[in-house]
Amino acid sequence: MAFLNDYHVHTDNSMDCKFPMASMCEQALQSGVREIAFTDHLNHHLLDLDLGFYRADKYFADVEACRARYPDLKILAGIELGEPHRWWKRIAPIVDNYPYDLILGSVHWVGKESMFDANYYRGREPQQAYHEYFEEVVQMVNHGGFDILAHVDLPKRTAYGIYGAFDAAALEDDFRAVWQACIDNYITPEINTKSLRLSVAEAHPNMDALRWYVEMGGKRLTFGSDAHTPDSIGSGMGEARRIALGAGLHYICHFEGRRIIQWSPL
Ligand SMILES: [Zn+2]
Ligand SMILES: [Zn+2]
C-alpha cells in the first residue's frame, strides 16, 4: 500500500518503550512504512509511573536528527496526551510551544482508577465498567485540544482476562455518544491495531463500531500500530484497511501542523 502510514508509534521518549527513535525509523523503512508519527506519552496522573518522564526538547532533538538521517521517511512530530481534559493547564504550555504535527488524546485513567488495573473490572459489571470509561472519553473529546482519538475502546484489551470476548453491540449507545462528540469537535478516530497482536485479537474499534461512526456522518480516519517495539511498526494495517472499507470509509487522513492536509484513497 503506497499510502502506508503509521500514526501511533512510541520511542524511548516513553517510559514503557526502550527503543531509540532511529531504530524505529530503520524498521519502518524496512517494513515499507512511508510516513510515521512518533507519539510518546505525556501523562500527568499522579499515580502514573511515567509522571515527569517526557521531555519535549529531547523528543524534538530526536525528531530533527531522524529527519536529517532518514530523508525517505516522512516523520511527523506527535504526542499521546493522557486525559488532556483533566490536566490541560499543565499540558497547554507544551503543546502550544512546540511544533507538533498531530496530537493523540487517550483515556488511560477514569478518576483514580487505571484501565490497566484488573481491580477496576473486578469491582464492576462489564456494562458499567465500559460505560464509565466511555463517559470519560466523551468528556475528553468535548474538551478538545487534540486531533486524534486513540484506542477508542481500550478496556476491551485490558479487561479481556476478566470479561473475555467483547460485545460491541451491547455498548452501541456509548459508542454513538463518542462518535457524535468526535464529529462535533472535528476529532479523528484511529484504527489502533495493537489489540490485534494480543489475546482479544480485535482492532480498536472493530468494524461494527466503526460502521456506526460512518452511519452518523463520520469520515475522518487514521491508522496506528501503537508500536512499542520495532517489530510492531506498521503491523495490522491490512486488517485496518479491511475494517475501514467494510465500515464504508474510503480515505485515510494525512496530518501536518495539526491540520489534515490530504486524503488518500484506501
Ligand atoms: Zn494509550
Ligand atoms: Zn500509545
- Domains in the chain (CATH in brackets) are 5-265 (3.20.20.140)
Q: Which ligand is nearest to the CA of 114?
A: 1
For residue 88, the CA-to-ligand 2 centroid distance in Å is: 19
Angular region, 186: left φ>0, alpha ψ -120 to 50, beta rest = left
- Please state whether beta strands 148-149 and 188-192 pair in parallel, antiparallel, or not at all (unpaired): parallel
- CA–CA dist 227, 70 (Å, integer): 19
Q: HEC profile for 136-167?
A: HHHHHHHHCCCCEECCCCCHHHHCHHHHCCCC
- 82 forms beta bridges with 106
Q: Which residues of 13-49 are buried (b: 16+ CB within 10 A; e: fewer)?
A: bbbebebbbeebbbbbeebebbbbbbbbbbbbbeebe
Kindly give the distance from the C-alpha atom of residue 116 to the centroid of ligand 1, in angstroms, as a whole number.
10
The rounded Å distance from CA 17 to ligand 2 centre is 10
Q: Ligand 1: distance of its center to the CA of 95 in Å?
A: 18
Are the C-beta atoms of 82 and 106 separated by less than 8 Å?
yes
What is the CA(151)–ligand 1 centre distance, in A? 7
CA of 61 to the centre of ligand 1 (A): 23
Give the number of the ligand closest to the Cα of residue 227.
2
C-alpha cell at 47: 499515580
Q: How far is the CA of 246 from the centre of ligand 2 (A)?
A: 25
Task: For residue 205, report the distance from its CA to the centre of ligand 2, in Å.
Answer: 15
Residue 140: which of 110, 114, 169, 105 has the closest Cα? 105
CA of 22 to the centre of ligand 1 (A): 21
Ligand number nearest to the C-alpha of 17? 2
In the reported structure, the alpha carbon of residue 171 is separated from the centroid of ligand 2 by a whole-number distance in angstroms of 23
3-state helix, strand, coil in the chain (%, to 5): 40, 20, 40
- 149 CB-near residues (< 8 Å, 6+ apart): 104, 105, 137, 141, 178, 182, 187, 188, 189, 190
Tens digit of each residue's pLDDT, the chain (266 residues): 556 899 999 999 999 999 999 999 999 999 999 999 999 999 999 888 888 999 999 999 999 999 999 999 999 999 999 999 999 999 999 999 999 999 999 999 999 999 999 999 999 999 999 999 999 999 999 999 999 999 999 999 999 999 998 999 999 999 999 999 999 999 999 999 999 999 999 999 999 999 999 999 999 999 999 999 999 999 999 999 999 999 999 999 999 999 999 999 99
C-alpha 81 to ligand 1 mean position (Å): 8
Burial class for 169, CB neighbours closer than 10 Å (0-12, 13-18, 19+): exposed
Q: Which residues surround the ion ligand 1 when the cut-off is CB under 5 Å?
A: 106
Taking the whole predicted model, whether its pTM rises above 0.85 is answered as yes
